[in-house]
Chains A and B, each alone.
Chain A
Amino acid sequence: MSRAFEMKDFKLLSETRFDRKPVNRGYAMRTMHVDVGSRTMKEKPVSAEMKAKFVGGKGFGLRLLWDGTKPTTKWNDPENEIVIAMGPVCGNTNYPGSGKSLVVSLSPMTGVPIDSNVGGYFGPYLKFGGWDALEVQGKSDRETIVFIDNAEGFVRFYEAPAGLQEDTHLLADELTRAFAGGLASGGASPDPTELQAISVVSAGRGADHSPMGVLNFSLYDKRRDGIRVKQAGRGGIGTVLRDKKIRALVVRYKGVTQNANDAADPAAVQRLGLKMHREIVVNDDKQCKMRKQGTAHLMEVMNDYDLLPTKNHKYGQDPKGPELASWVWEKLFSQNLPDGCWFGCTLACAHAVDHFKLQTGPYKDQKVCVDGPEYETAAGVGSNLYVYDPNGILELNFYCDTYGIDTISFGTMTSFLMECWELGVLNADRTDGIDLSWGNWKGAAQILHDMADGKRFGVLAGQGVKRLAEYFAAEYGADAQLMRDIALHGKGLEQSEYVSKESLAQQGGYYLTNKGPQHDEAWLIFMDMVNNKIPSFEDKAEALHYFPMFRTWFGLQGLCKLPWNDIEPSDNGKWPESNKVPEHVHNYIDLYKAITGLDLDWDGLIRQSERVYNFQRIFNVRQGHGHRKDDYPPYRAMGPVLEDEYLAREERYDKQMKEKIGVDPAGKSTGEKLRITREFRLGQYDTLIDAVFKRRGWTSEGIPRPDHLKDIGMDLPELLEVVGRHI
């Protein structure tokens, strides 16, 4: 057990005091800029134009990041920023899923802005000191802790003391206990209310050596008397944190109340929240069982529909699938706990496995609390690695989190490595002795431990599939085309964990995204593949306009997507366009109006998102990306790459060849059938891009058109200047 720290153990490097400012109608109208290089803090006002055009959350984050960086800025330049922004609805305690922070940065994996939506107490605590966003810029010359005390009104830069841990499960716990109570008590207060008033943002040793580092946002759990963490997972923001030599950001705030947002109509906020709480209490057991299983409720459904990634997305199903079914996780998760990631989230999907005994690594034989797994993790480091041992998944989940590694990128990367092992591209000589046979989770764990140590094979592995595919072709003579086909990434970011082969719309949902293949923009597989609700290219394009725009809105507000459609009103099915869950959309509109006092309708909601979405696209263009050529999937995401992959679903593919392509498969070799299928599917995707770009108001090269920018009120000079150079 490590020793306990108090505040006096932290060497003070500098301090800036500030006036606390109450939030008014959901906004503080100022942001905090922290430079860890010069160890200074300054306040920036939020202009009326910024509020009107960028709304908050991800919109504010991207605006600040654009202004703080240059077209030439690389992820590890000092001017790259980590911006944590909340949004006007963030922090209300009534409506489930209202505690999200949106984190943006130039990604070490893609070179373009990444955005990640994360729970935990940090964002709301930051906001209620009177800040709409926090910009972190610069690079420190020593290991630094930034302590923002929103209860007292100061920012302090501390040097991390010797002996302070690096891995999150220990570090966040040490810092929470050290800073509890603040200066008045000298820290180290044992009062649970003081402990709960601290939230920590940290990464871990893995993020020091791999571009796929996460940020862990902590919350102190009174019942467990311990730290829980939620991840800003995608795109390597934890790596940026560590590159800046920031050990952690710590915030302190006390006294969250029902109307800390100073809502225009607090009774309406209560009414909307209570309506949702009741809907969840009544319907959740009959619908998704989020309160008992979290997103892991999806496991057997995905396996049933051939969508659960298995062996690097080669297949979508396996007879062993049920070994990872929702009921398995329900038994492992501690039940009857209000495991929300922010106060008042009765959907409470942030489950944990308590007292889990580790089998490998530096914490072997210790009992720990494992946050998760969520669906993406259970699929990514489970079925996709052919791991059907829940204990193996829990171990990988735990070490990813504490080392500050993204479970999704790690899962997709390790499945690529295991397929390379199967193909003979890798062997024990090339992996420093790690056996990467399918299902060997201890091999995967060893890669993680290597990543944390910064030694051996894990350092190479942790570079991500894009770089690995190039490296294996160049150094090991692997077939370069095959490597590109099976390295599941877009723009450098690993794909998340749904098999998209049989849904053209979902291929677009993954790869026609701003940040890379993450399912948070659109999840259209059932609509497209199972229910055939969007048959034409125009239908798919409409869905690939509406859903990304709608879902972007959560990120502008500081909201979670899950209470939108992982719980539904009992009568949802009887309404037109039930897949949009219209009653919940109206809840959100009413919630926004009740908090901000501003007017909004459904079209206006989409318009708010469209502005920010196009801004992000142009940001990509400014950084030298964001063109049509950047929006193509690797072929594994589109169809069968290998002969055995085709043969495993031969009946399906032959039928499609006959009915959709109009070619008789009879008498053709598997190789020939693969080629015909591939040509057809690539052509379909190109037609899809044309339709989607047109619907989004972009040129066929993917550049937002100036007239479209004018239509949506986003014809800002700096944007027209960038798009003008490409049209």
Chain B
Amino acid sequence: MIKYLKLDDQKCVGCMSCATACSLAYAKEDNPAKARIQVNGLGNGRFHLVACDQECRRCVAECPVQAITVNKQGVVMIDKKLCVGCLACVAVCPTEAMRFYPAESTPFKCVACGICVKACPKGALEIAEKEDSPASRFPFEAAAAARRDSTDQGERS
């Protein structure tokens, strides 16, 4: 199963409570540019929410140092100690859910923690689960993950 942040654009009113809660939690400041969720105004009171769907994993396959892996909940995690800050993951992300802040050394993304869910006054967000797609899309990743599991070296914080 994959744990992920389920987004409902129809319910979003653009209050930015989610971005505030997220950036305060992870960047210690209220700054939407540092939030792991993005609220994009479409005009006419409509909004489009962006956060990682945890499913496509192109960033996982692209990372040259395997700093990006999938944890046991199916969530895509970045190991900041391993990351070399190349931003290839940002470039390959099809939804621009992988983000970075200028001159900060590592990128960041939603890890489906649920802090924003509690902050949202309109119920536009929820932590949900979905079926995993076949791991065979990236056989080298699957093999590496199996090695990590067997040597118990995976899951660096």
Contact = CB atoms under 8 A, between A and B. Distances in A.
Interface of A: 93-94, 190-193, 196, 222-225, 256-259, 266-267, 270-271, 273-274, 277-278, 280-281, 334, 336-338, 340, 343-346
B151 A190 contact: yes
A224 B141 CA distance: 10
Given A337-B140, A338-B62, 13 more contacts: A93-B85, A190-B151, A196-B65, A223-B66, A225-B144, A267-B103, A274-B90, A277-B88, A277-B92, A334-B140, A337-B61, A344-B87, A346-B62
The DSSP consensus for interface residues of chain B is: loop
B85 to A, nearest CB: 3
A488 B153 CA distance: 53
Contacts of A337: 61, 140
A273 B84 CA distance: 13
B46 interface: no
Contacts of A340: 64
B140 to A, nearest CB: 4
B86 to A, nearest CB: 3
B71 interface: no
Nearest to A259: B105
A193 B86 contact: no
A225 B87 CA distance: 23
A672 B136 CA distance: 65
Contacts of B100: 270, 274
A630 to B, nearest CB: 42
A131 B102 CA distance: 28
- Which of A192, A223, A266, A274 lies at the interface centre, i.e. has the most chain B CB atoms within 10 A of its CB? A223
Interface of B: 61-66, 82, 84-88, 90-92, 100, 102-103, 105-106, 137-138, 140-141, 143-144, 147, 151, 153
A273 B87 contact: yes
A222 B144 contact: yes
B75 to A, nearest CB: 21
Contacts of A190: 151
B85 A278 contact: no
Contacts of A266: 103
Contacts of A281: 91-92
17 contacts: A93-B84, A93-B85, A191-B153, A223-B144, A225-B147, A257-B85, A258-B86, A258-B105, A271-B102, A274-B90, A277-B87, A277-B88, A338-B62, A338-B88, A340-B64, A344-B86, A346-B88
Contacts of B147: 225
Nearest to B153: A191
A336 B87 contact: no
Nearest to B105: A258
A192 B66 contact: yes
A490 to B, nearest CB: 37
Contacts of A191: 153
A66 B84 CA distance: 36
Nearest to B143: A223
Nearest to A274: B87
Contacts of B141: 223
A344 B88 contact: yes
B77 to A, nearest CB: 16
A259 B83 CA distance: 12
A192 B62 contact: no
Contacts of A259: 85, 103, 105
Nearest to A339: B64
A193 B140 contact: no
B138 A336 contact: yes
A143 B147 CA distance: 35
Contacts of B63: 338
Contacts of B153: 191-192
B66 to A, nearest CB: 5
A224 B103 CA distance: 32
A336 to B, nearest CB: 6
A415 B80 CA distance: 51
A274 B91 contact: yes
In order of increasing CB-CB distance, the 6 nearest A-B pairs are A258-B85, A344-B86, A277-B91, A267-B102, A267-B103, A258-B105
Contacts of B106: 258
Contacts of B102: 267, 270-271
Contact of A270 (B66, B84, B87, B151): B87
A344 B91 CA distance: 11
- Which of A94, A191, A258, A271 lies at the interface centre, i.e. has the most chain B CB atoms within 10 A of its CB? A258
A69 B31 CA distance: 59
B18 to A, nearest CB: 25
Nearest to A255: B81
Contacts of B144: 222-223, 225
Given A259-B105, A336-B140, A338-B61, A222 B66 contact: yes
A343 B85 CA distance: 9
Contacts of B92: 277, 281, 346
B140 A224 contact: yes
A273 B105 contact: no
Contacts of A346: 62, 88, 91-92
A270 B99 CA distance: 12
Contacts of A271: 102
Contacts of B137: 336
Contacts of A257: 84-85, 105
A193 B84 CA distance: 12
Contact of A343 (B61, B65, B103, B151): B65
A344 B105 contact: no
A223 B86 contact: no
A439 B87 CA distance: 45
